[in-house]
């Protein structure tokens, strides 16, 4: 059976909570009641029913007699809503920096495996590695869209700016987002912030995407200081080693070496290859190229199904040869835009 608290009952609960000195959504409260935060939020909203045993436990934790605060009339009319739609309502998102993934082809198997790692195997760190333009960011965004309803919080942080944010800046912003509005007292020391983040990761289910991890090591070495990079490494190691219920997804051109030494931790690493033939073909068709099947096959093989490279070459053929692959082939050279070629050369171990 599901129960809803009356308006008056919620006031009684509010008083009891304040007497205990607890925040409105204090982790100690739902921790003592052995329920998840979304359940406490539903209880406090007083709109949909909460399972009776959870209702009783939440009241007991705050020292209130549950029978005194039930709205029996409303409870009788309501179903228990413990499904993912409600979890979705409770999801708090911070993803201004996330890429929009309206066009996404293929990668069904990779997505399936990654979803299983996150939802069933509860992996704590998921790394997507691969050469520039292979589709790491796009896959991370698609994956996040598909699994985020299983989480209480979802945050996407891009490390791709010309200079990656200092860890202090990243953690301060992240922790402000993850803490309740009432909390204003945040540590200013990186190590304390890491401890705080890990505590939040233990008490809440947080999905964090760090996009472009390779930039941390690159900017740090450009500036001649390893300090912040070492701190980032320490953060990653602790997220992997410590037991918690959250998940960090990392996209990177270079494999983070701090993770290669971690065994017996629930971490997965996926090295992305190019898109398969069918998915690559969709790029050619979307760019309205004119070709016969063998020409498509050759073009896709030449660029190893790399979606960035395929997009570039398709645009080039469209612009210079009016989309006609035969005309392009008569002047055939493997054309890489200069910046892409430079990036590929730097990462030739992926090829
Ligand atoms: N599965 C896909 N279907 C269609 N387009 C894709 C797919 N994956 C990636 N793309 C497109 O290819 C381009 C490069 O993708 P993305 O930015 O994800 O690569 P990346 O591996 O993150 O590159 P970088 O290492 O430079 O960050 C983007 O324009 C993206 O929209
Ligand atoms: Mg990327």
Three-state helix/strand/coil letters over the chain: CEECECHHHHHHHHHHHHHHCCCCCCHHHHHHCCCCHHHHHHHHHCCCEEEHHHHHHHHHHHCCCHHHHECHHHHHHCCECCCHHHHHHHCEEECCCCCCCCCCCCCHHHHHHHHHHHHHCCCCEEEEECCCCCCHHHHHHHHHHHHHHHCCEEEEEECCCCCCCCHHHHHHHHHHHHCCCCCCCCCCCHHHHHHHHHHHHHHCCEEEEEECCHHHHHHHHHCCCCHHHHHHHHHHHHHHHCCCCCEEEEEECCCCHHHHCCCCCCEEEEECCCCCHHHHHHHHHHCCCECCHHHHHHHHHHCCCCHHHHHHHHHHHHHHHCCEHHHHHHCCCCCCCHHHHHHHHHCHHHC
Across the range 260-276, mean pLDDT stands at: 84
**Tell me, what's the pLDDT at 184?**
73
Pairing of the two strands 247-252 and 267-271: unpaired
- Residue 30: give the domain boundaries: 2-88
Across the range 130-156, mean pLDDT stands at: 93
Across the range 19-30, mean pLDDT stands at: 84
Query: 240 and 117 share a domain?
Result: yes
pLDDT digit string (tens) for 80-137?
Answer: 544 444 444 468 898 888 888 889 999 999 999 999 999 888 899 999 999 999 999 9
Query: 30 and 163 share a domain?
Result: no
| Mean predicted lDDT score pLDDT of the chain | 84
Rounded Cα distance between 23 and 7, Å, is 19
Rounded Cα distance between 304 and 347, Å, is 15
Query: 159 and 235 share a domain?
Result: yes
Query: 74 and 126 share a domain?
Result: no
Q: How far does the centroid of ligand 2 lie from the alpha carbon of residue 251, in Å?
A: 7
Q: Looking at 36, 69, 88, which one is the last position of a domain?
A: 88
Residue 144 confidence (pLDDT) above 90: yes
**Tell me, what's the pLDDT at 246?**
95
pLDDT over 70 percentage in the chain? 85
**Tell me, what's the pLDDT at 87?**
47
Query: 35 and 184 share a domain?
Result: no
Query: 106 and 159 share a domain?
Result: yes
pLDDT digit string (tens) for 199-240?
Answer: 999 989 999 999 999 988 776 655 555 577 888 888 998 999
Choose which residue among 101, 136, 137 to substitute to test ligand 1 binding: the one with the highest number of ligand atoms within 8 A of its C-beta.
137
> What is the pTM (predicted TM-score) of this model?
0.73
Q: How far does the centroid of ligand 1 lie from the alpha carbon of residue 139, in Å?
A: 8
298 or 350: whose pLDDT is higher?
298
Q: Which tokens go with 51?
A: 């399972």
Q: Looking at 88, 118, 153, which one is the last position of a domain?
A: 88
Query: 231 and 135 share a domain?
Result: yes
**Tell me, what's the pLDDT at 346?**
54
**Tell me, what's the pLDDT at 33?**
92
Query: 170 and 232 share a domain?
Result: yes
Q: Which tokens go with 110?
A: 């990779």
Query: 266 and 287 share a domain?
Result: no
* CATH code, domain with 102: 3.40.50.300
**Tell me, what's the pLDDT at 85?**
41
Query: 51 and 130 share a domain?
Result: no
276 or 39: whose pLDDT is higher?
276
**Tell me, what's the pLDDT at 305?**
95
Query: Which atom from ligand 1 is nearest to the alpha carbon of 306?
Result: 12
Ligand nearest to the CA of 139: 1
* CATH code, domain with 9: 1.10.260.40
**Tell me, what's the pLDDT at 226?**
55
> Beta partners for 93?
154
Query: 125 and 244 share a domain?
Result: yes
Across the range 316-341, mean pLDDT stands at: 74
Q: Measuring from atom 24 of ligand 1, which residue has the nearest CA?
A: 132
pLDDT digit string (tens) for 152-164?
Answer: 899 999 988 766 7
Ligand nearest to the CA of 214: 1
Pocket of ligand 1 (CB under 6 A): 103-107, 130, 132-138, 212, 251, 253, 275, 279, 307-308, 311
Query: 78 and 103 share a domain?
Result: no
pLDDT grade for 336, boundaries at 50, 70 and 90: low
Across the range 40-47, mean pLDDT stands at: 87
Q: How far does the centroid of ligand 2 lie from the alpha carbon of residue 27, in Å?
A: 35
- The count of domains in the chain is 3
Query: Which atom from ligand 1 is nearest to the alpha carbon of 252?
Result: 25
Residue 167 confidence (pLDDT) above 60: yes
Q: Looking at 271, 298, 329, which one is the last position of a domain?
A: 271
Q: How far does the centroid of ligand 2 lie from the alpha carbon of residue 24, in Å?
A: 38
């Amino acid at each position: 059976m599901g129960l809803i608290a009356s308006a008056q009952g919620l006031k009684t609960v509010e008083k009891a909570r304040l007497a205990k000195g607890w925040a409105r959504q204090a982790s100690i409260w739902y921790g003592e009641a052995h329920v998840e935060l979304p359940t406490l939020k539903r209880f406090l909203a007083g709109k949909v029913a909460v399972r009776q045993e959870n209702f009783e436990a939440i009241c007991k934790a705050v020292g209130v007699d549950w029978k005194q605060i039930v709205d029996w009339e409303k409870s009788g009319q309501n179903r228990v809503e413990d499904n993912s739609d409600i979890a979705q309502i409770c999801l708090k998102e911070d993803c201004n920096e996330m890429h929009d993934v309206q066009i996404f082809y293929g990668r069904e198997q990779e997505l399936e495996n990654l979803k299983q790692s996150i939802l069933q195997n509860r992996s704590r760190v998921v790394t997507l590695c691969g050469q520039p333009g292979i589709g790491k960011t796009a896959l991370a965004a698609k994956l996040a869209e598909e699994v985020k309803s299983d989480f209480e919080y979802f945050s996407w942080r891009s490390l791709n700016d010309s200079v990656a944010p200092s860890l202090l800046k990243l953690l301060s912003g992240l922790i402000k987002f993850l803490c309740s509005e009432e909390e204003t007292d945040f540590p200013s020391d990186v190590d304390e912030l890491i401890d705080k983040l890990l505590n939040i990761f233990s008490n809440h289910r947080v999905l964090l995407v760090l996009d472009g991890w390779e930039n941390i090591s690159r900017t740090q070495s450009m500036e001649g200081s390893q300090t912040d990079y070492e701190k980032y490494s320490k953060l990653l190691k602790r997220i992997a080693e410590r037991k918690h219920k959250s998940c960090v997804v990392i996209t990177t051109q270079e494999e983070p070496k701090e993770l290669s030494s971690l065994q017996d931790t629930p971490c997965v690493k996926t090295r992305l290859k190019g898109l398969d033939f069918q998915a690559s073909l969709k790029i050619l068709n979307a760019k309205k190229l004119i070709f016969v099947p063998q020409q498509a096959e050759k073009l896709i093989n030449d660029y190893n199904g790399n979606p960035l490279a395929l997009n570039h070459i398709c645009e080039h053929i469209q612009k210079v040869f009016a989309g006609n692959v035969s005309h392009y082939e008569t002047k055939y050279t493997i054309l890489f835009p200069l910046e892409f070629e430079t990036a590929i050369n730097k990462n030739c171990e992926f090829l």
